[in-house]
Structure 1
Amino acid sequence: MHLGIPRRSDLRPKGKNKPLLPIPSALRSRFKDYSNKRTAIQAILILIIGNYIVNWLFSSSKVKHNFGHLTNQEALQTLQDNHGIYKNEISVGSKYIFPPIEHAPLLRELTLDRLFKNKVNPDNPQEKLYFYSDDDDLNDFNEIKDKSSSEDPLDQSLKAFKEHGRKVFRPSSGKKSPEIVLVTGVDFEKFEQSHLTKIVQNRVDYAHANGYGLYVRWIQEFTPTLQEYNNERNWAKLFILRAAMHAFPHAKYFWYLDQNAFIMRHDIELYSYLLEPKSLEPIMMRDQPIVLPNGAIKTYRKVKAEDMQIVITQTKDGINTDSFIVKNDIYGKGALEFWTDPLLRKYSSFTSDEKDALTHILQWHPVILSKTTIVPGRTICSLHSSNVAEEEDDTLFYQEDDFVVNFKGCDVHHTCELVLDSYWKKQQGTN
């Protein structure tokens, strides 16, 4: 039995390069200390030399190599030719970009088969796949040439549909970009022309009253994009918002407002009402669960209003994306790009609902959560209810003089036209 007493074999060299006898323990510790110090000195010298080389290389260039270019507003607003869907774009001087709403019934008659190039899905013969086309015959103004000699309304609506997505706001000299742009997607298959006309007119009137820009797109324009991962149409709002940022690159804020919402107060200016830090600070819902009622992940307590890039609301069912605001900077754009990433869009639990994808992002990505604030629903998205709210401190349901009313779910009960008409008449009588 070995009791810790060295054997003769332990004293013999075990390799050709080993010393003949073991090194004394005192001397061994000195060598070890020297080796550690030498390694530390070598590491320090490598860092010093490496830092010198890097500084020499960067200082020899006239361009500053730092991360400032990632947050530089001027750099963020630099136009990129390949950012939009279409290679050929149409510059317009009007800050109100919206499609001819009177074409809604004609577009419904044309169907998607004539609005896009298409082919039968080889995996499902009952389904057609639609594609964007940038090879239409264009004139010198990037407008699609008329191929018909007649003034056929269907041909004119088809031409307008294909051209609308190419329009971008490029003001003439002396004009400035609006700082806030109101964004909406409209569905000509879901709503009648009368409904859509009131929605778009409501947006135009509000934007005009406050000097904002307006960007409205047909939801059907994004059919090929949504088909990539079988996303439902409510995902289109994110791509419309991205397109708005491309069309108005110098705007500071983008407010997406769904077609099932209606602005009741044109006298409320959004920046001073909500976006200005002193207005946003007292209504930020800190330590608020992302998943109601008792979710583990909550909004941060110690965040500042001036650092918020995304403003959203909640209902009792969770995050509400019928009305939300995104700031046009590196964090706002980054969050939107991440939100539309294919990894999220093709995940089976998110394909039908973009709200679930955002809920996931806020729970698992603290940087985005730290730039996002939840505000009371009635701030920018009061919910319509057939029952008059009795509690004055209710934060969800519409009350007299609220800013925006949201009649989400009206399509389920087939009451959209009726509900919108009642608010239209009320709003027209008070403004």
Structure 2
Amino acid sequence: MDWIGTIEAYRRSPLGSGRKFVIILGSNVEGGVMELKGAAEWAIERNSVWNKEEYAKRWGYELEIVNMLAKKRYSHEWREGWERIDVIRDAMHKYPHAEWFWWLDLNTWIMEYSYSLQSHIFNNLNSHVYRDINVYNPLNITHPPTEPYLDAVSRSAEGDADPSSIHIILSQDCGGFNLGSFFVRRSVWTDRLLDTWWDPVMYEQKHLDWEHKEQDSLEYLYENQPWIRSGVAFLPQRHINSFPPGACEEGVNPKYHYEEDSRDFLVNMAGCQHGRNCWGEMFRYREISNQLNRSWWQGFRRGFDTLWGNIFGEQDQKPRSAV
């Protein structure tokens, strides 16, 4: 084992901090309800899984790849999109030593392998997050609630300002909450949230109004349940969830869209299946990430491989490690 392998093994050991984090990747290995996928879908899946494996291996995190087949929760319909709530709960049972669980949609790419979750977010959590939604409030939610029967924490815009009371961390895009990349913490509070989020009575009453399914449901709960607000924190979108141009709005907006010079952590190709090219976007950001993160030796080898391919007509189609 070389020294890099030794470091990675330490991070995964009980002495390291890697076991505190589980990455949950919502995949689709069986092709959905009809179990059909084309070449582009297979390429997206292989590359996205490889990307998360490389990152998790480097920092000693667990990686849980889950098959997001639609589940028929009731006799009259499929609750597609809602299964992530069950998946998070299952992961908490499977990894009893983990504290934080990072959900990632398949159409995401971790751009910066050198950023650990600890240094990027959790070592100084309060300095990165905001708890007063008025900092950025595209949904125009009235905050904080002012009902006199609420306690002081519930009526405070910042909650109790204690990072230990943060149980879910997410970002907002131009339309509201975005669950393509978000964190939940193991806690009694989270168990209560997951129970409420997945509640069949509320679902039956409201699901026709919720175009974005569990995302709209969480927005509804945040707006109408003061106890939930006090456990939620937000990160600026580009901290964990940058968009490519064309997502959210046309052009480039520094609030939402990936900036190469700023070395944004992750790109979420949200909505790429609606008029954009999912595989084309993932390939582009894969190549940018590789270029930004490769060592001088990898740069030399890439140049040599390109020259060899030009001479002999061979091309390497496999993802190239940026680690």
**Where in structure 2 are the equivalents of 1:11-410 lying within 5 Å?**
178-187=19-28, 188-189=31-32, 192-220=41-69, 222-225=70-73, 227=74, 230-276=77-123, 278-288=124-134, 292-298=138-144, 300-302=157-159, 303-346=161-204, 347=206, 348-350=208-210, 353-386=213-246, 389=252, 394-400=254-260, 401-410=263-272
Question: Structure 1 residues 332 and 272 mapped into 2: Cα distance closer, same or farther (>3 Å)?
Answer: farther
- Distance in 1 (CA, whole Å) between partners of 2:190 and 2:118 is 17
TM-score by length of 2: 0.71
- Unaligned stretches of 5+ in structure 1? 1-170
Question: Structure 1 residues 395 and 414 mapped into 2: Cα distance closer, same or farther (>3 Å)?
Answer: closer
Larger Rg: 1
**Deviates further, 371-380 or 181-190:** 181-190
- Distance in 1 (CA, whole Å) between partners of 2:48 and 2:163 is 31
- Distance in 1 (CA, whole Å) between partners of 2:14 and 2:128 is 40
Q: Offset of 1:365 from its aligned partner? A: 1.4
Q: Offset of 1:428 from its aligned partner? A: 2.4
**Deviates further, 229-238 or 243-252:** 229-238
- Distance in 2 (CA, whole Å) between partners of 1:260 and 1:180 is 21
- Distance in 2 (CA, whole Å) between partners of 1:375 and 1:176 is 22
TM-score by length of 1: 0.54
Asked if 1 retains the 8 angstrom alpha-carbon contact of 2:131 and 2:232, the reply is: no
Asked if 2 retains the 8 angstrom alpha-carbon contact of 1:203 and 1:214, the reply is: yes
- Distance in 1 (CA, whole Å) between partners of 2:193 and 2:136 is 16
Encode CA deviations 1:135-165: one digit per residue, 9 max, x unaligned.
xxxxxxxxxxxxxxxxxxxxxxxxxxxxxxx
- Unaligned stretches of 5+ in structure 2? 1-11, 145-155, 294-321
Q: Offset of 1:287 from its aligned partner? A: 4.3
Q: Offset of 1:424 from its aligned partner? A: 1.4
- Distance in 1 (CA, whole Å) between partners of 2:45 and 2:126 is 32
Q: Offset of 1:291 from its aligned partner? A: 5.8
Question: Structure 1 residues 233 and 175 mapped into 2: Cα distance closer, same or farther (>3 Å)?
Answer: same
Question: What is the aligned partner in structure 1 of residue 304 from structure 2?
Answer: none
- Structure 1 residue matching 2:134: 3-state secondary structure: coil
- Structure 1 residue matching 2:86: 3-state secondary structure: helix
- Distance in 2 (CA, whole Å) between partners of 1:309 and 1:421 is 34
- Structure 2 residue matching 1:224: 3-state secondary structure: coil
Encode CA deviations 1:219-264: one digit per residue, 9 max, x unaligned.
11x5233x55735522222222122112112210000011121111
**Deviates further, 236-245 or 324-333:** 236-245
- Distance in 2 (CA, whole Å) between partners of 1:233 and 1:204 is 26
Q: Give the RMSD, CA atoms, in angstroms.
A: 2.8
Amino acid at match of 2:130: M
Question: What is the aligned partner in structure 1 of residue 274 from structure 2?
Answer: 412
- Distance in 2 (CA, whole Å) between partners of 1:290 and 1:343 is 31
- Structure 2 residue matching 1:243: 3-state secondary structure: helix
Asked if 2 retains the 8 angstrom alpha-carbon contact of 1:272 and 1:279, the reply is: no
Question: Structure 1 residues 388 and 378 mapped into 2: Cα distance closer, same or farther (>3 Å)?
Answer: same
Higher normalized contact order (CA 8 Å, seq sep 6+, divided by chain length)? 2
- Distance in 1 (CA, whole Å) between partners of 2:98 and 2:185 is 9
- Structure 2 residue matching 1:378: 3-state secondary structure: helix
- Distance in 2 (CA, whole Å) between partners of 1:410 and 1:203 is 20
Encode CA deviations 1:329-351: one digit per residue, 9 max, x unaligned.
11122212221111233233237
Asked if 2 retains the 8 angstrom alpha-carbon contact of 1:289 and 1:297, the reply is: no
Amino acid at match of 1:314: Q
Question: Structure 1 residues 272 and 316 mapped into 2: Cα distance closer, same or farther (>3 Å)?
Answer: same
Question: Structure 1 residues 365 and 194 mapped into 2: Cα distance closer, same or farther (>3 Å)?
Answer: same
Asked if 1 retains the 8 angstrom alpha-carbon contact of 2:130 and 2:233, the reply is: yes
Question: What is the aligned partner in structure 2 of residue 139 from structure 1?
Answer: none
- Distance in 1 (CA, whole Å) between partners of 2:143 and 2:264 is 30
- Structure 1 residue matching 2:171: 3-state secondary structure: strand
Question: Structure 1 residues 172 and 204 mapped into 2: Cα distance closer, same or farther (>3 Å)?
Answer: closer
- Distance in 2 (CA, whole Å) between partners of 1:397 and 1:232 is 30
Asked if 1 retains the 8 angstrom alpha-carbon contact of 2:131 and 2:233, the reply is: yes
Q: Offset of 1:176 from its aligned partner? A: 9.5
Asked if 1 retains the 8 angstrom alpha-carbon contact of 2:244 and 2:257, the reply is: yes
Amino acid at match of 1:185: G
Amino acid at match of 2:256: L
- Structure 1 residue matching 2:191: 3-state secondary structure: helix
Instruction: Name the count of aligned residue pairs.
Output: 255
- Distance in 2 (CA, whole Å) between partners of 1:344 and 1:322 is 23
